[in-house]
């Protein structure tokens, strides 16, 4: 990723970094703020409500398909900023629920618009599609790493002058205002799609089978991605590492994941994206299963944690690149909504499934379940892509 490349796509990069930076600062501070006010029960409910709202947001976005993309971007960025601001009201249930619904729907729709922007750029710069699709994951990871460090530093400074509650409120308000800055970014002019006849307001009638198959597959893929990573701190700590070392391990793995994302920008990866995707997913399974045979849980968990996190770089970059080959061009926004919704559903299921499996059967059972889901979902995705390529060229 050269300086010229960053300059060329500076507006997109600014938007991605600011969006994820503000999102992560807000979520990191919110959990501590709720904990400080003895409201962790409401925090758990908040994220369940937000996940459900995000999962059904594509029903709304399907009805807005003919609106100008900049109008939608500004409207839903403003609504998301308002949702982040409402997080300061920790003692008022109706505002907690309102914030969760507003944040879930608006953030999901903004992310759908972002994906349309990325695919529009890809259409115009086909030779750079590998690098373009890696932008989102790379700068998302970068934003996550910096946001955790900076939010902790800001809290330390503010707490010298204000109470804990007011310090957290200031950070939450700041994150809301930072999100508002993204309204200054102008999305490129993107062709609006015509509304399509839908089955049950969900799937396009003329591609119903494809949409339904991908919806089910993406629920499975959402589970595979998060079944271990969503409870990673507990898994590492549970294997015998201290809380401090656990934090350090996760930080090192995050940096490694960021570094590995460079590999998936290479032209040879782009050309053989389908094969590389399948290989990286199956390699993850092999390494995880082999690590279990070491007979030293405290050290095997390091290999399992590293490979499951590092594989995410390839998973997200290549998945989005390969979707370019699968999704019908005229129905991109509809399919983006369907896939994002189903992936969110799988992701929200992953944590309770992973927690239950880990508590009942330990690390070994968790790895076997993870391996099974990864094998089934990655082979299904690989097969679907090959069928779609054959269909397009037949």
- Which of 358, 274, 364 has its CA nearest to residue 314? 274
| Residue-level length of the chain | 394
Q: Where are the domains of the chain?
A: 1-192, 196-394
Per-residue pLDDT band for 393 (boundaries 50, 70, 90) equals: very low
Condensed to tens digits (0 to 9), the pLDDT of residues 239-284 reads 888 867 877 787 788 888 887 777 777 777 777 888 888 998 999 9
Condensed to tens digits (0 to 9), the pLDDT of residues 137-160 reads 788 888 877 887 788 788 888 888
Q: What is the CATH number of domain 196-394?
A: 1.20.1250.20
- pLDDT score, position 196: 53
The Cα–Cα gap between 329 and 331 comes to: 5
Asked if pLDDT for residue 230 goes beyond 60, the answer is yes
Phi, psi of 65 (to 5 degrees): -60, -25
Mean per-residue pLDDT, 296-318 = 83
Span of 102-106, 166-170, 312-316 with lowest mean pLDDT = 312-316
Asked if pLDDT for residue 199 goes beyond 50, the answer is no
Same CATH fold, 196-394 and 1-192? yes
Task: Tell me what the pLDDT averaged over the chain comes to.
Answer: 82
CATH class of 1-192: mainly alpha
Question: DSSP letter at 181?
Answer: G
Residue 97 CA to its chain's centroid (Å) = 22
- pLDDT score, position 79: 94
User: What is the number of alpha carbons within 13 Å of residue 1 lying toward its C-beta?
Assistant: 24
Span of 111-115, 154-158, 171-175, 202-206 with lowest mean pLDDT = 202-206
Condensed to tens digits (0 to 9), the pLDDT of residues 355-391 reads 888 888 888 899 999 999 999 999 999 888 887 765 4
């Amino acid at each position: 990723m050269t300086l010229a490349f960053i300059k060329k796509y500076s507006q997109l990069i600014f938007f991605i970094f600011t969006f994820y930076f503000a999102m992560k600062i807000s979520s990191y501070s919110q959990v501590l703020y709720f904990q400080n006010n003895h409201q962790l029960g409401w925090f758990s409910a908040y994220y369940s409500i937000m996940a459900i709202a995000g999962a059904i947001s594509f029903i709304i976005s399907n009805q807005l398909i003919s609106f100008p993309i900049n109008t939608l971007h500004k409207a839903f960025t403003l609504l998301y900023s308002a949702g982040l601001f409402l997080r300061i009201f920790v003692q008022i249930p109706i505002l907690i629920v309102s914030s969760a619904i507003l944040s879930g729907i608006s953030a999901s729709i903004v992310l759908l618009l972002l994906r349309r922007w990325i695919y529009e750029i890809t259409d115009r710069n086909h030779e750079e599609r590998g690098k373009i699709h890696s932008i989102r994951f790379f700068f998302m990871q970068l934003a996550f790493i910096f946001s955790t460090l900076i939010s902790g530093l800001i809290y330390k400074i503010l707490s010298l002058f204000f109470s804990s509650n007011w310090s957290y409120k200031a950070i939450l308000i700041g994150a809301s205002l930072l999100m508002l800055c993204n309204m200054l970014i102008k999305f490129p002019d993107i062709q609006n799609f015509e509304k399509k006849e839908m089955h049950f307001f969900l799937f396009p009638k003329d591609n119903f089978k494809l949409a339904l198959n991908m919806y089910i597959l993406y629920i499975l893929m959402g589970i595979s991605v998060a079944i271990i990573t969503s409870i990673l701190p507990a898994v590492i700590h549970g294997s015998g590492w201290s809380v401090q070392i656990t934090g350090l391990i996760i930080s090192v793995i995050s940096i490694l994941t960021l570094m590995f994302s460079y590999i998936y920008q290479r032209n040879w990866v782009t050309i053989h994206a389908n094969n590389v995707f399948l290989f990286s997913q199956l390699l993850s399974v092999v390494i995880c299963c082999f690590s279990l045979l070491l007979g030293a849980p405290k050290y095997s968990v390091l290999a399992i944690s590293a490979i499951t996190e590092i594989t995410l770089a390839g998973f997200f970059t290549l998945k989005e690149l390969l979707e370019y080959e699968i999704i019908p061009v005229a129905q991109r926004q509809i399919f983006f909504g369907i896939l994002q919704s189903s992936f969110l559903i799988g992701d929200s299921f992953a944590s309770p499934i992973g927690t239950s499996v880990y508590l009942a059967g330990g690390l070994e059972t968790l790895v076997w379940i993870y391996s099974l889901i990864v094998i089934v979902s990655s082979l299904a995705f690989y097969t679907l892509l090959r069928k779609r390529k054959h269909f397009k060229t037949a």
